[in-house]
Amino acid sequence: MKRLLFIVFFLVVTKYDVMAQSYPVRYFRMPMDITPSLSATFGEVRANHYHSGLDIRTGGAIGQPVYAVADGYVSRINISAWGGGKIVYIDHPNGYRSVYMHLNDFCGEIGQWVRDYQYRHQCYAFDTNVAPGRIKVYKGQIIAHSGNTGSSGGPHLHFELRYANNDQTINAQLFGLYVPDNVAPTIKGIRIYPATAETMINGSNAPLEVLQPAVRAKKGRRGRPATTLSPTVSGDFYLGIYATDHSESYNGNNGVYRIELRIDEQLVYRYTAETFRFEDSRAVNGMVDYPLYIATRHPYILTRVLPYSPPTMSRPERGDGVFYLKGGAKHTVRYDVYDANGNHTGKSFTINTPATQKASTYRPERRGQRKEQMLRGGGYQVVVPVEALYTADSVVCRMEDGCLSVMPSSEGDSPMPPHVPYTLRMPLAGVSSCSDVRQMLIVRKSGKKWVAETTRFADGWVEAKPRNFGVFTLAVDSVAPTIRPPKSLVARHEHYLTFKIADNLSGIDSYRCMLNGRWILAEYDGKSSSLIVQLPRADAPASEPQLLNGGNVLSVSVSDACGNTTIREFRL
């Protein structure tokens, strides 16, 4: 029995050593002392980015202890109403950096340093480096408590491991941080795509779903079991797969770790969620079937690689992931999918090619010298950097009824966003009814709404740096934000008051709270539109405002991005 247990232990350790041979697998500990369950894995496809870490579930609770995963020192602290919320970065002697996001609060020396910084600079949100060695931590030290701050969709800890020298993020499971999971991934869809106008797939020049889902029988209609097609393909094509993972403790759709594709037993493509640079993260849009993802949120990962795409986690073994098969034969195609624990699932099907197979007409787009695109009209200037597009496509601008359409020429209703922002300028004279130019801004149509772009003014132009293509126009925001106080203005045991603040268009830009004429810390939570004022406790230091016996006056000032300001005073 002991021999059997040793063999099982050896196989598990060997599996991790092979999978993570480039990383130290026994250096870091888990950041929480709970049985780890992941609501999101490394490299999952998200809108405009890869998911950059592990989301560790906290059972819907806020306030779970978070521990330093190894000895080191705090190198950076970032606090924001959006994104990762409250974040701490720790650098370790072995050259890696650990990152902890969506925290509720910081502990010990870190918490005191943060509060001192906020009162010294009179700000809640900030992003600053901390001097090396200023705040040292040891492995297993409680550094914070888990929370739901920033753009978090629910209480959890977002945890990352990065290279300290360049901030490139790495799959933390490759460091031997074990997450219980004995459930194999699921292949939910496989699609085959025509690569040219001459390609025919079952007689059509359109994508085909190889995995046909089951159809339930209904009154007067026969059902149909799930089936796998064996399509007939003439010409050049590429493939896409939609695969998810889950575990015994979480039945959601997590991302997978590795995908391998073989045609006639030859490895032709692989995908590995191992590491990526943040500046390349938006290239995920070109790695998936983007229009289908926008419509269904099903990320079909494509074998095809766009010619000017930065590195992604997709890697054709040769060429750019477009295939051409010999005619008059049956070709075996097999996908194998793995999670980070080595659990595996596979799916095979055949592709038939007619004896009258057409010659390949696919010509890969050569990576030549591209130029910045500059477009001008009576009501606009648009400058598109060469890095913005993943192909040699051109951008087309059309002005109609005061609205400017900026779109790639070859894409449809769901254009792939640019990899980097471009510059859009519209003349100040476009809105003559505005008495204060600071109230002008560029807005983009999003569904039935208009959303504000960050706007600045230069040389008679209103300028923005959009990160999306679409339809834009000039608008005026002359409406100040609203401030709604809590039902009770009596300070109770929780020592905070929550105000609801909102803006109609340009968005909340700044806020300031004063208690009896002195600045007091207030926390802005963007997703709930809440401004939380932390009232001083009885043991508050003299450097912070104090509650007076009798009456107290709290002043709340909120400004939007166009300079409109609302100031209200409340008696506590």
Encode 211-235 in three state secondary structure. EECCECCECCECCECCEECCCEEEC
The burial class, CB within 10 Å (0-12 / 13-18 / 19+), for 475 is buried
Domain end position, chosen among 148, 175, 202 = 175
Domain co-membership, 28 together with 161: yes
- My answer on whether 200 and 62 are in the same domain is no
- Which parts of 26-183 are beta strand (E)? 38-40, 45-46, 49-50, 54-57, 65-67, 72-79, 86-91, 96-106, 126-129, 136-137, 142-146, 156-163, 169-170
My answer on whether 21 and 112 are in the same domain is yes
- pLDDT score, position 435: 61
Q: Whole-angstrom distance between the N-terminal and C-terminal Cα of the chain?
A: 71
Both 154 and 77 in one domain: the answer is yes
Q: What is the pLDDT of residues 471-492, one digit of tens each?
A: 999 999 999 999 999 887 765 5
Cα–Cα distances in angstroms (integers) from residue 497 to residues 200, 307, 500, 531, in the given order? 65, 54, 10, 8
- Residue 157 dihedral angles phi and psi, to the nearest 5°: -110, 125
Nearest CA to 31 out of 244, 236, 193, 173 is that of 173
Confidence (pLDDT) at 432: 54
Same domain (yes/no): 190, 326: yes
Cβ contacts of 3 within 8 Å, gap of 6 or more: none
> Which pTM does this prediction carry?
0.92
Is 426 inside a domain boundary? yes
In this structure, is residue 368 part of a structural domain?
no
Sheet holding 395-400, edge to edge: 395-400, 403-408, 470-476, 440-446, 449-452
pLDDT at res. 550: 79
* 302, 348: one domain: yes
Residues 512 and 357: their CA atoms lie apart, in Å, by 71
In a domain, 1, yes or no: no
Choosing from 288, 321, 353, the residue where a domain stops is: 353
Tell me whether residue 125 is in a domain.
Answer: yes
Query: Does 231 lie in the same domain as 100?
Result: no
Closest to 570 measured CA to CA, from 504, 510, 491, 508: 491
The span from the CA of 32 to the CA of 65, in Å, is: 7
How many separate domains does the chain show? 4
Does residue 6 fall inside a structural domain? no
Q: The domain spanning residue 491 has which CATH number? A: 2.60.40
Domain that holds residue 504: 482-571
The DSSP secondary-structure symbol of 348 reads E
Q: Are 159 and 241 members of one domain?
A: no
Burial class (CB in 10 A: 0-12, 13-18, 19+), 16: buried
Q: Cα 237 to chain center, whole Å?
A: 30
Is residue 361 a part of any domain in this protein? no
Q: Which long-range contacts (CB under 8 A, 24 or more apart) does 86-91 make?
A: 86/144, 86/147, 86/149, 86/150, 88/143, 88/144, 90/137, 90/143, 91/132, 91/164
Pairing of strands 461-464, 423-427: antiparallel
List the beta bridge partners of residue 266: 263
Mark whether 236 and 315 lie in a shared domain.
yes
Determine the Cα angle at 530 with ends 526 and 533, to 5°. 120
Q: Are 456 and 463 in contact (CB under 8 A)?
A: yes
Instruction: Kindly report the CATH number assigned to the domain that includes residue 445.
Output: 2.60.220.30
Question: Which amino acid belongs to residue 499?
Answer: F
Q: Which two tokens stand for residue 314?
A: 């997709």
Alpha-carbon span 327 to 113, nearest angstrom = 70
| 554 is a domain residue | yes
Does residue 53 contact residue 159 with C-beta atoms inside 8 Å?
A: yes
What single-letter amino acid sits at 74? Answer: V
Q: Which of 470, 445, 471, 412 is nearest to 290 (CA)?
A: 412
Residues 320, 279: one domain?
yes
Residue 8: Cβ-neighbour burial (10 angstroms; 0-12, 13-18, 19+): exposed
Q: How far apart are CA 96 and CA 170, in angstroms?
A: 10
For the chain, percent helix, then strand, then coil, each to nearest 5? 10, 40, 45
Are 220 and 337 members of one domain?
yes
d(CA 169, CA 161): 6
pLDDT by residue, tens only, the chain of 572 residues: 444 433 333 344 434 333 444 899 999 999 999 999 999 999 999 989 999 999 999 999 999 999 999 999 999 999 999 999 999 999 999 999 999 999 999 999 999 999 999 999 999 999 999 999 999 999 999 999 999 999 999 999 999 999 999 999 999 999 999 999 999 999 999 999 999 999 999 999 999 999 988 777 777 777 678 899 999 999 999 999 999 999 988 988 999 999 999 999 999 999 999 999 999 999 999 999 999 999 999 999 999 999 999 989 999 998 899 999 999 999 999 999 999 999 999 999 999 999 988 888 888 877 777 899 999 988 899 999 999 999 988 999 999 888 999 999 887 777 899 999 999 999 887 555 556 778 899 999 998 899 999 999 888 889 999 999 999 999 999 999 999 998 877 655 457 899 999 999 999 999 999 999 999 999 999 999 999 998 888 778 888 898 888 789 999 999 999 999 999 999 98
- Provide the pLDDT for residue 512: 96
Q: Are residues 310 and 213 in the same domain?
A: yes
Please say which residue of 175, 196, 229 terminates a domain. 175
Residue 459: left (phi > 0), alpha (psi -120 to 50), or beta?
left
Does 306 map to a domain? yes
